[in-house]
Amino acid sequence: MKSMEKIAASENFTAANVGKMNELSDYVLELGPEVKIPGKVFGGTTVGATGSDFSFQSFAPGTETGFLHTHKNHEELYFFLSGQGEFQVDGKVFPIQEGSVVRVAPAGKRSVRNNGKEPLVMLCVQYKANTFTAEDATDGNILSEPVVW
């Protein structure tokens, strides 16, 4: 089974490569002996993420998540990188396409389907809800040291 490749690491970072988006179908996420999700890979563990997780997923034309799900504590952001389809939250169905972003609260009952003619590729970022504050929005520091390549 294919796995993400760690490409660099040091004390303050880890970098990994998931590969080409059109090759995501080589991944299979196994949630149990009878639950296998083709085209999905989680990456938070690979990069050592401590405050969130993320996954890439590719849906072939005519496929869907196949189930509704919620979370106890985690909000999710879905970024659609290519293709088109439909997203469902709490029974409301709406179109999504390349460039669409969807935020779903933990209790939202969600699912995705590809009703297009090309693969639907998404990046999902999962994090604990209600933790980002106005103070966090100004957390970055621009340094005065020069960039040296």
Task: Please give the CATH topology (third level) of the domain spanning 5-130.
Answer: Jelly Rolls (2.60.120)
Looking at residue 147, the DSSP 8-state letter turns out to be: P
C-alpha atoms less than 13 angstroms from C-alpha of 8 in its C-beta half-sphere:
3
Report the distance separating Cα 24 and Cα 4, nearest Å: 10
Task: Supply 132's token pair.
Answer: 């980002």
Does 1 score more than 80 pLDDT? no
Task: Supply 66's token pair.
Answer: 């196949």
Task: Supply 24's token pair.
Answer: 């995501």
Among 21, 26, 20, 54, which residue's Cα sits nearest to residue 39? 26
CB 78 within 8 A of CB 104: yes
SS3 content of the chain, % helix, strand, coil (to 5): 10, 50, 45
Task: Supply 11's token pair.
Answer: 């004390």
Give per-residue pLDDT as tens, 5-49: 999 999 999 999 999 999 999 999 988 888 888 999 999 999 999
pTM score, whole prediction? 0.92
Give per-residue pLDDT as tens, 2-14: 889 999 999 999 9
